[in-house]
Amino acid sequence: MKNTKSGFTLIELLVVLVIVGTLMAYVIPSYQRQVMVSKRTEAKNAILQIASAEEKHNATYNTYTQNIGGTGVDGDSLGLGSAPFMTSANYTFSVSLAPVTGYTITATAIGTSQINDNITLDCTTLTLNALGQKTLLGCWQ
């Protein structure tokens, strides 16, 4: 009578664990970076939408406004209150006015999800002014 055992040996299981561990060491940081980049892209798109609304408001009322929300029909707001990015879980948005630059739109990250970046920049705050100047240019690329 022949005694045959089926299954995996301990060595085979350890080899598989080493391979899976090595793959995860490369996959997880790459995934986290892509999530970070997609959140930043969401913020950049929202900033550009606000800038477009500011320019439209300036063309209509000959002035900029700090009020992003509202209905937009009163001349004192941009009317973006119902825009999807206004309820973003990743960034908050604000507008400040200045005599030289017109307006400055600021997107501030909520939490610390945008701090650790492979490009070694602290991209928790992105800004754009009426002159088209972007701060933390590396974060905009």
Tell me how crowded residue 56 is: count the other CB atoms within 10 A of its CB: 13
pLDDT of residue 10: 92
Contact 45, 56 (CB under 8 A): no
Whole-angstrom CA distances from 75 to 10, 62, 71, 81, 94 are 73, 10, 9, 14, 18
113 band by pLDDT with thresholds 50, 70 and 90:
low
pLDDT of residue 117: 57
Quick: pLDDT tens for 7-46. 889 999 999 999 999 999 999 988 888 888 888 888 899 9
Looking at residue 122, its amino acid is: D
pLDDT of residue 115: 60
Q: How far apart are CA 111 and CA 77, in angstroms?
A: 28
50 band by pLDDT with thresholds 50, 70 and 90:
very high
- Per the DSSP assignment, residues forming a β-bridge with 98 are 102
Picking from 42, 34, 33, 141, the residue whose alpha carbon sits closest to that of residue 89 is 42
* Least confident range of 74-83, 112-121, 122-131: 112-121
Q: What is the mean pLDDT of the chain?
A: 84
Where exactly are the structural domains of the chain? 10-140
- Per the DSSP assignment, residues forming a β-bridge with 91 are 109
Tell me what percent of the residues of the chain surpass a pLDDT of 70. 91
- State pTM to two decimals: 0.78
